[in-house]
Chain A
Amino acid sequence: DGGITQSPKYLFRKEGQNVTLSCEQNLNHDAMYWYRQDPGQGLRLIYYSQIVNDFQKGDIAEGYSVSREKKESFPLTVTSAQKNPTAFYLCASRGNFEKLFFGSGTQLSVL
């Protein structure tokens, strides 16, 4: 069953804590993306990676970090520097065409 898997579905963060959101794809796509979605808002790009071991900042990268050690995996860490982390986080991948395939999302909330 091919696709993008995000975990966990729900995540809670304590103040000052770093948390990591997982994103795995078995579509053999080179490019992967992380978006943040706030209620009633569109998607804003946090980070993206066009190829393994390379990634670029998006529009709202401050307070976030990523790694791309494997083609299949693109984890996102929400650091303590991100003062307003509560949001719905979406991971996506792209193959040879422009269309993005999305995961089912992770809802991050602050305790």
Chain B
Amino acid sequence: GESVGLHLPTLSVQEGDNSIINCAYSNSASDYFIWYKQESGKGPQFIIDIRSNMDKRQGQRVTVLLNKTVKHLSLQIAATQPGDSAVYFCAENIQRGGADGLTFGKGTHLIIQP
């Protein structure tokens, strides 16, 4: 079964508002987490990542927060724009027989309302 999941399959926000997308993970040994954005019919694009020795990391208009106590990851998008409409996936790094691999959640579809 999947060890990474999303709290909501769809999130609708007004243009200009901030968006918060949540993710729960179950493997306490995971040491690296990553957020991807996927537009319809395209491959996932890297947004931001964070290591387990950090609580917060900021990028351009995006912030990732990691709460290891409750095994929770979130992606915050500031001043949401129409181009932010996409499916957002979180992923965690899990060892596979000595070789690293990422396990993905099901994704959250972010819809921007005009």
- Residues of B near A102 (CB, < 8 A) are 36, 43-45
A108 shortest CB reach to chain B, Å? 13
A74 at the B interface (CB under 8 A): no
Contact indicator per residue, chain A 83-94, by CB within 8 Å of chain B (1) or not (0): 000000010101
A81 at the B interface (CB under 8 A): no
Given the known inter-chain contacts A48-B101, A56-B99, A98-B100, please indicate yes or no for A90 contacting B43, CB distance below 8 A. yes
Chain A residues bordering chain B, tally (CB within 8 A): 27
Q: Which A residue sits closest to B31, measured CB to CB?
A: A98
Determine if A48 and B99 form an interchain contact, defined as CB atoms under 8 angstroms apart.
Answer: yes
Task: Say which one of B53-61, B65-73, B103-111 lies at the interface with A.
Answer: B103-111
Task: Tell me the complex Cα distance, A78–B9, Å.
Answer: 29
Task: Tell me the complex Cα distance, A12–B61, Å.
Answer: 40
- Residues of A near B93 (CB, < 8 A) are 98
Chain B residues bordering chain A, tally (CB within 8 A): 26
A50 at the B interface (CB under 8 A): yes
- Residues of B near A31 (CB, < 8 A) are 99
Task: Tell me the complex Cα distance, A6–B42, Å.
Answer: 11
What are 12 residue pairs bridging A and B, where the CB atoms are less than 8 Å apart in the complex?
Answer: A40-B9, A42-B106, A42-B107, A43-B89, A45-B101, A90-B43, A90-B44, A94-B100, A98-B32, A98-B34, A98-B100, A99-B49
Residues in chain B within 8 A of chain A (CB atoms)? 2, 4, 9, 32, 34, 36, 41-46, 49, 89, 93, 96-97, 99-107
Closest 6 CB pairs of A and B: A102-B43, A42-B104, A43-B104, A42-B106, A98-B32, A104-B43
Residues in chain A within 8 A of chain B (CB atoms)? 4, 6, 31, 33, 35, 40-45, 48, 50, 56, 58, 90, 92, 94, 98-105, 107
